[in-house]
Amino acid sequence: MTELSLEITRHIPHPPERVFDAWLDPKMLAKFMIPGPDMTVPEVSSDATVGGRFRIVMRAPEAGDLPHEGEYRVIDRANRLQFTWESPYSTSEDSLVTLDLTPKDGGTDLTLHHMRFETEELRDNHQQGWGTILTSLEGALA
C-alpha cells in the first residue's frame, strides 16, 4: 500500500445538503464528473447506500470510455461521504476518496482527500482532474 495522497479544499457557494446530494445523484454526477476538456459522461449509476456501488463512465476523445467504479463506505448527509475509487489509469486497489463538508459563509467548504496512489504522476494527474471536477460541480449547482 502506498501513502501518496492529495487534498483539495474549495468553497462552494451552495448549502452543504445541496453539495452533498449532488455526489449521489446520477443526473448531477453526469454534469460535473468531467476531469478534462472535451470529455463527457455518457453513463452513471449509483446505489447511494453504505455498501452500495456506483459506476461513472467518462468518455475522452483520444482514449474512449474510462469506467470508474467504487463502493460507498460512509454516507453522512451534508457532512461526510467516503467511497473507494477504482479507475483504469489511477490508483491502488484500496484507493479511497473522502469528502468533508463544512458550512461556511452561507455556502460549503468542501475538502476532498484521495488516498493511496501508486505513483506521484498518477497523484498529480488526479490532483488536476479533481480540481476540474470541483470547478464543474460549482457550475452544475448554479
Considering the entire predicted model, what is its pTM?
A: 0.93
Domain containing residue 75: 4-141
Q: pLDDT of 32-90, one tens digit each?
A: 999 988 999 999 999 999 999 999 999 998 888 999 999 999 999 999 999 999 987 66
- What mean pLDDT is predicted for residues 113-129? 91
Residue with cell 445541496: 18
Residue 1 has pLDDT above 70, yes or no: no
| pLDDT in the model for residue 3 | 81
Tell me, what CATH number does 92's domain have? Answer: 3.30.530.20
| Beta bridge mates, 42 | none
Question: How many structural domains comprise the chain?
Answer: 1
The answer to whether the CB of 84 falls within 8 A of the CB of 94 is yes
Cβ neighbours around 25 below 10 Å, total: 14
